[in-house]
Structure 1
Amino acid sequence: MKGYWHLTAISVAISILTIFFDNYWLIAIFSIWLFYLLYDERLGKVPILLSLTFFLFFLLYIPDINEANVKPPPETIQHKGKIESPITITQNKIDFHFQDYRSENKVLVIYFPENQGQPPSLENYPDILYGATCVIQGEMELPDQSTNPGQFDYRNYLLKQAIPYQLILNSLDDIQCEGSAFLHLVYNIRDMLRKQVEANISKETGSWLTAIVLGDDSLLSDDTIELFQRWSLSHILAISGLHIGLVVALVYFALIKLNLFTKEKAQWIMMLFLPVYALIAGGEPSVWRASTMVLIFIILNKVKLKFSVTDTFSIVFLLLIVVDKYIVYHVGFQLSFIVTFGLLLSRQWISNTNISVMQVLQIGFVAQMMILPLQLAYFSTFQPLSILLNWIIVPYFSLFIIPFMFILLLLTALPSFFVLFFDKAFVQIHNIVLTFIEFMDTYANFAWTMGPLPIIVAVFYYILFFIFMNQLQHGKLNQAFRFGCAITILIICVAIRPYFSPVGMVTMLDVGQAEAFVIELPYRQGVIFIEAGATFSFEDMEPSDRAYKQVIKPYLDSRGISHIDAVFLSHKDIDHVGSVPFMLEDLDVEQIIISDLYELDRDTIELWKNHDIQIQQTKRDEIIVVEDHPFYVLAPYKDHNSANENSLVLYTEFGRKDWLFSGEIGKAEEREIITTYQSLPVDVLKVAHHGSNTSTDETFISRISADYALIAVGENNTYGHPTLEVLETLSEEAMTILRTDKDGAVQYQFTNDQQGTFFKYVP
């Protein structure tokens, strides 16, 4: 099989894609491809037979993640098992993986400290160690799942690590452990290094050192991590082949050049050292890929065998999957191997350049182009200028930051005043670079928000890119330019596809005990919000950004939306307007429409004006037209001296159904509306006040005779919404009730000339 291991790796990759996309047409395509290679005598029978064997084996071996197959958790409250991961301690929690002996399930155990102001500590619990056998008191539960399109699915995320349940500890006294495993000593070294960094280096420098050397980015600020994600710089924070190469060079230099060991003994030491460092560096797939490749090359050199880099890469790919079949779902695994694969295909083009800096730029270009479909799949956005920024930032990190961080870690053994000089120098230089990235993010942010690429488009993208690189490597610049243009046109077509789609969408998002409706008109003529609520803390009554960051923004990104034509706000309660400030910071919002009785405070006026928001106030019987779509204002008609009763009530049509958005009006206002508008056909009613019994009058419901009732309400909310009384009133009129606490996000797809269809996100 020497020289053909890449064929088996491709076979396994196709089996992985078959499972990922549940598309068995790939099997037919793969079989036809192998048959062609055999028929054209490009391959012999042995490589083809092995490729088919690998394909079928991994098709059965790799798990198919399906949340519907997860059974309810065991009802027992005492669990005996073994800790099977390092103990992770962050600023607000402690967690680890626990293998439960009785249920044979892996469980994520989490402890949140009672005093959120103090970081958690295991100082008084020295027996909680990796490999310890423990008895834990607590109830297993299913992790939260996504209830909105585009939202991060925590349950699915854990299932991709073979973890179906979680267990929240009330106290660390609820866990009793004994013993440990040998690997605990390795992880203990990592903790010691972290403590050494914290004791000898400033917090700012230490956060970068632990991220780049120890693979722990938890000390970096969320803003920094999000900034690097937006500009496709996240790969810099992941320990990769470059990091491992530097480690190997430093250790090898110390062992050989300083005459400590012979070359033969140094190789044996490296074989022992690399797995240990991989564990110390967090054990991420990119670390194991690079470390394992170096190990294989050392072993092959010792046994006098020569394998190509492509064969070695393919063998490492297969080994890692055999060791951990769930690793194929790890984003780091996917990014690491697809980038390395692209670099292997481009090595001739890169090696033709003798200038080191130019090679770094070429590597950055290939890496960015290879991860583009994955970037869109996981983050829904692509920054075209990120390729240019990577050309500047990648050499800076490769040639300066990464080597300097490793050297600085060694320098922590010296007197503190010596380390302090280098620490301050790093902070000053690095802040200039970070300021430059932030400057680009502020003034050159032309991100394309377009959502994931369809699988067929991703396939065409990679085909075009591989042809582009092939032409480039053979010096056919004109042909390469044409295929480069084809790639650009393909991405543009995906970005503008909503503007050619006749399908519109009304989405009632699940934002807890709050409301947010997103309206996407056909042909993307306009994007309109009706309410943009948020949850809040009862302690300070300030809106939380949770609804915006975890629900609203991911949904808009997945739909390729960055511009909002209008936001209707019924009244100023946080559960209806709390996400607006966060939207203004991130999105291009054109206008906000409120009633003439909406109470505007000075801070709100200043905030909206600072973002150049057009403020339009309206009143009863006015027609508000947003991008040629009319909204009729039915209320308020007078000042009730109540924010709820003064709610803006809107009437409009989508997909030949008449919709009534009723804010939080009460029963008196509902009766007044049907008295004033006696012929008011309603097909879809947004139930007022989350289903409270202060609204949804029986006479009102009977008169409008709607077919659907939409209730935006939080799961297990303390208000008891929706009340049994309201549900009975709606049921008596045979209305179909759709509610976010049960159905998740509710979507209505329609066209201008046909009635639409309702869909529940949670089946």
Structure 2
Amino acid sequence: MIVLGALNVNSSYNKNLYDFVNKEAKFNGVIDSVEKNENSYKYGFILKSANDTIIDEKVLLCFYENTNLELGRNIELNGEIIIPSENTNPLLFNYRRYLLGKNIEFQLIGKPKTIKTLDSNISLKYKLQRTFYKRVQTQFSNLKAQNANTIKGLILGASNNTDRVEYDKYKELGIAHILAISGLHIGIIAGFFIYILSIIGLKRKYNFFITLFILWVYGFLIAFPPSTLRALIMFTIIMVSKLSNKPYDFFNILSFSFIISLSINPFWIFSIGFQLSYIATASLGLILPKLKEYIYPYKSNLVDLFLTVLAVNVGIFPLQSLYFNEFPIYTFVSNILVLPIATINLILGFLNLASDIFVPILDLFLTIQSMIVDYIYKLPMRTFYLSSLKIGEIIAYYILVMVVLNIKSLQALGKSIKKALFVSLVFLLLMVSINSLKRSNLEIDFIDIGQGDSMLIKKDSTQYLIDTGGDVFGTFDVGEKILLPYLVKTGNRDIEGIIITHFDKDHYGALQSLINKISIDKVLVGSEIADLELKQKLKDANIPVAKLVKGSRITIDKDVSLHVVYPDKETRRSKIENNNSLVIILEAYNKKILFTGDIESSIEKELVSQGIEPVDILKVAHHGSQSSSTEEFIAMLSPQISVISVGRNNSYNHPSEEVIQRLHNYNTEIYRTDTMGLIKVKIDKKGMDISPYYGPLYREDIIKIADKYFETIVASILYILAAFLSVNEYNRLEDVQIEL
């Protein structure tokens, strides 16, 4: 089924669209879904043709100015096809994969002034969906604005209907699932209709069929989100089983819905909502019964609700770590207090779609829900932060959970199995110990933050950051979207010092996004901070600021240190901000890396005249601009490797072809963040290794992966083999002992 789904998805992607990538053309098609936010208008667009070439593929139609296109509208417009971006730093959000989960491979950047409506004929599907959406909008128009948004989120899903600030509150309290159509909603709606129809006196068979019909129509009207489809498939099978008086197996049903879903779109496997939905549901089947065994005979609705929340949170904890890097401390309190109110509001919301006589009571209960959420949200320490768990750690976590939950069953095992498990545990601990004793090395991450610089230096538990990057143009927040998530996900939340080479936005602009989000011991600068807002934020956060000059030295440990080679105390501040850059040499295990900020040719000449020594790695000045990297400077440094931190398709045309050629002339190996993504350098006593990220794991060459994780793979195989042999050996000895 999954293979058929993969073939289905592959066939739905029209290879002809690649002919239109980065080219303007005329397109026509149908608006399939609508999504609006503050900065853009986005539409699911069933593309019918491009320049009269038949296409028939869904794309994401994007506008960056006001447009008002209705669902089902047939339009023609000019635009440009682009391929969605992937993450260029490990662990960060992969937009392309996210869109593939929606069965979308391309974006279409549209030109609003070229839009033409082709005809007014709208298919029945879109007429029904439009009617439903309009009904939801009008029936809740008399509610308070915040309450209206909340109930729309409950009925339609949060993505396009709930205020972002309000949604973030629910997310930080661990109750965002209330605003995502899932099994919870399907269960509430089903329970309500079954109850009402039974009161009317409808026979059980007709009751179930009418309820199922209502649920599937509802799923159709909201376009079957993955979690909703999962719940509908499972609920339908359960209802049919009950009608036919035949038993059903929870995990068979869950597996069946999983296979059906992936046969529709295999890329759903990458959807966070899809993963959360299935793992949360599996937790209710695997973990919840075990928890109930432990607390038997204590039973009550409150205890059941608490155990349900606990089971789900235990199950999804690795995903919380992997994707959100935080755990909501008040999740138990929030769910226990808010879920019952949200259940009432969902039922009242559906009743209100039929008649607005329920508006006053619905408004009251939504206000109560909002007050509870606001009260809990104001409590201190709402979350604690987590680093992203690795695959091995996630597997180990689930094994540990299963062992703890099944401890009674394990106690009943025979001695031979217990001994085998003990030996396996010893092997596992030995492997972990050996791994922890592996030689310590220095890591330098040249983070891809677009047009700017940001380098993370890591040695054991000490981290320094040289520059933070920052967007010069537009509203994209490099700190919030790239730098902060990368630091959090990689477990680098305690920064010893942030060194700002100079005060151009693309070198310090993201610093404000880090303040109060991670621990920063100090900020080190080469000149006075002119940004008054930044200065005040640092003061308010009690982060000291110190000045670095030529001769300043930062000792990380006995093998690693940073020392400043420019500017000295007497150097007058230049009117050209680039030439105020700190120039720093990192020395580690007899290797040298030179960080140059944005210095231009005049400062390079000064460094040459002072007799700057050769280095192993050069961070190329000013993103490879032709105003830097002079012949004399490169010749004197003679770097083996040159790293250029630069943005894709930047308006400055960095790096300069002249600089690239000059570097090649001196046989230096060039690494660029715009073509390679994050660049990681590892240095230890045995040497130096440099590895670009290139892109998400599924695009990497399998041989490179095997080589990269060779030690881990070999260790895992040895562990499994040792565990297997020890189990067999103890079983054999046990059998011999019994015979004797």
**For this structure pair, what is the TM-score category when the shorter chain's length is used for normalisation?**
0.7 to 0.9
CA distance change for structure 1 residues 219 and 72 in 2, over 3 Å: closer, same or farther? closer
State whether residues 373 and 452 of structure 1, in contact with CA within 8 Å, keep that contact through their aligned partners in structure 2: yes
Structure 2 distance, partners of 1:328, 1:615, is 46
Structure 1 residues 202 and 626, CA gap change in structure 2 (3 angstroms): farther
Separation of aligned partners in 1, 2:452 and 2:323:
27
Which of 679, 699, 702 matches 2:635?
702
Q: CA deviation at 1:755?
A: 2.3
State whether residues 656 and 755 of structure 1, in contact with CA within 8 Å, keep that contact through their aligned partners in structure 2. no
2:463 to 518, 521, 527: 527
**Counterpart in the other structure of 2:43:** 95
SS of aligned partner of 1:652:
strand
Question: Among 50, 57, 63, which residue is 1:106 paired with?
Answer: 57
Equivalent positions of 1:147-296 (< 5 A) are: 147-171=88-112, 173-174=114-115, 176-178=117-119, 179-230=121-172, 232-258=174-200, 261-296=202-237
The verdict on how the C-alpha distance between 1:754 and 1:311 changes in structure 2, with shifts beyond 3 A counting, is: closer
The residue that corresponds to 1:557 in the other structure is: 488
User: Hey, what does 2:373 align to over in structure 1?
Assistant: 433
1:574: how far off? 1.0
Please say if residues 182 and 231 of structure 2, whose CA atoms lie closer than 8 Å, have aligned partners that are also in contact.
yes
- Give the Cα–Cα distance (whole angstroms) in 2 for the partners of residues 659 and 64 of structure 1: 50
**1:332-481 alignment to 2 at 5 Å?**
332-346=273-287, 348-349=289-290, 350=292, 354-379=299-324, 381-383=325-327, 386=328, 389-411=330-352, 419-420=359-360, 422-423=362-363, 426-427=366-367, 429-440=369-380, 443=381, 445-448=383-386, 450-454=387-391, 456-471=392-407
Could you report, residue by residue, the CA deviation over 1:693-718 in whole angstroms, capped at 9, with x for unpaired residues?
A: 22222222222222222222222222
Residues 236 and 654 of structure 1, relative CA distance in 2, 3 Å threshold: farther
Q: In structure 2, what is the equivalent of residue 536 of structure 1? A: 472
Question: Which region of structure 1 is more displaced relative to structure 2, 351-360 or 423-432?
Answer: 423-432
CA distance in 2, matches of 1:158, 1:313: 25
**Alignment match of 1:647 (pick from 575, 581, 584):** 581
How far is the alpha carbon of 1:530 from its aligned partner? 0.6
- The one-letter code of the counterpart of 1:592 is V
Match of 2:537 in 1: 607
Q: Counterpart of 1:574?
A: 505
- Asked if residue 663 in structure 1 is aligned to residue 597 in structure 2, the reply is yes
Q: Which amino acid counterpart does residue 287 of structure 1 have in structure 2?
A: T
Which stretch of structure 1 is more off in the superposition, 663-672 or 102-111? 102-111
Identify unmatched segments of 5+ residues in structure 1: 1-56, 477-482, 539-543
- CA displacement, residues 289-339 of structure 1 (integer Å, 9 cap, x when unaligned): 222222223333444534344443333333333344443333222222222
Gaps of 5+ in 2: 413-420, 701-740
Q: Cα 1:73–1:652, aligned 2, differ >3 Å: closer, same or farther?
A: same
Question: In structure 2, what is the Cα distance between the partners aligned to 1:511 and 1:614?
Answer: 25
The answer to whether residue 691 in structure 2 is matched with residue 751 in structure 1 is: no
CA-CA distance at 1:136 after TM superposition: 5.2
The one-character-per-residue Cα deviations of 1:131-188 (angstroms, maximum 9, x if unpaired) are x766554332211222222222222322344432221111274455554433223322
Task: Find the partner of 1:716 among 649, 660, 674.
Answer: 649
Deviations 1:491-539 (A, max 9, x none): 9x99999897623321112222211111112x23x1111111201337x
Q: Which has the higher contact order (CA 8 A, sep 6+)?
A: 2
Superposed CA deviations along residues 429-482 of structure 1, whole A, max 9, x for unmatched, are 523433323424xx364323x22322x333332233223223479999xxxxxx
Once the two structures are superposed, residues 336-386 of structure 1 have per-residue CA deviations (whole angstroms, 9 ceiling, x without a partner) of 22222221224544485530110111111111111122222323x243xx4
Whether the aligned pair in 2 keeps the contact of 1:186 and 1:276 (CA below 8 Å) is: no
Residues 14-52 of structure 1 show CA distances to partners (whole Å, capped at 9, x for unaligned) of: xxxxxxxxxxxxxxxxxxxxxxxxxxxxxxxxxxxxxxx
Hey, what's the Cα distance between the residues in 1 that align with 2:589 and 2:333?
Answer: 50
Is 1:583 equivalent to 2:583 in the alignment?
A: no
Letter in 1 for 2:363: D
Maintained 8 Å contact 2:6/2:265: no
Q: In the TM superposition, what is the alpha-carbon distance from 1:217 to its structure 2 partner?
A: 3.5
Shift of 1:391: 1.9
Whole-Å separation in 1 of the counterparts to 2:29 and 2:15: 22
Correspondence for 2:443 = 505
Query: In structure 1, how many angstroms separate the alpha carbons of the residues matched to 2:194 and 2:246?
Result: 22
| 1:77-109, Cα deviation, whole Å (9 max, x unpaired) | 667776484344444313114255656563423
Hey, what's the Cα distance between the residues in 2 that align with 1:496 and 1:373? Answer: 25
Q: Which amino acid aligns with 1:114?
A: E
Partners of 2:170 and 2:641 lie apart in 1 by: 44
Distance in structure 1 (CA, Å) of the matches to 2:669 and 2:289: 63
- Over the matched positions of the two proteins, sequence identity in percent amounts to 22
> Is the Cα contact below 8 Å between 2:81 and 2:107 reproduced in 1?
yes
Amino acid at match of 2:585: Y
CA distance in 2, matches of 1:496, 1:287: 46
Q: Give distance in 1, aligned partners of 2:109 and 2:278.
A: 35
Structure-2 separation of matches of 1:593 and 1:625 = 14
Asked if the contact 1:376/1:453 (under 8 Å) is kept, the reply is: no
Shift of 1:756: 2.7
State the alpha-carbon separation in 1 of the partners of residues 605 and 306 from structure 2.
69
State which of 667, 673, 680 in structure 1 corresponds to 2:607. Answer: 673
Structure 1 letter corresponding to 2:256 = I
Structure 1 distance, partners of 2:533, 2:436, is 36
* Structure 1 residue 138 corresponds to structure 2 residue 74: no
Contact 1:190 1:214 in 2 (8 A): no
TM-score, with structure 2 as normaliser: 0.81
Give the conservation status (yes or no) of the 8 Å contact 1:65–1:156: no
> Counterpart amino acid of 2:539?
K
Is 1:688 the equivalent of 2:621? yes
Amino acid corresponding to residue 440 of structure 2 in structure 1: P
Give the superposition deviation at 1:399: 1.4
- Contact persistence 1:150–1:557 (CA under 8 A): no
Secondary structure of the residue aligned to 2:649 is coil
Alignment: residue pair count: 665
Amino acid at match of 1:615: V
* 1:501–1:231 distance in 2 versus 1, CA, 3 Å: farther
Change (3 A) 1:382 1:453: farther
Q: 1:342 to 1:182 in 2, by over 3 A?
A: same
Quote the Cα distance in structure 1 between the aligned partners of 2:409 and 2:691.
52
* Amino acid aligned to 1:581: Q
**How has the CA–CA distance of structure 1 residues 225 and 506 changed in structure 2, closer, same or farther, with 3 Å as cutoff?**
farther
Inter-partner Cα distance in structure 2 for 1:214 and 1:639: 61
CA distance in 1 between counterparts of 2:364 and 2:433 reads: 44
Q: RMSD of aligned C-alpha atoms?
A: 3.6
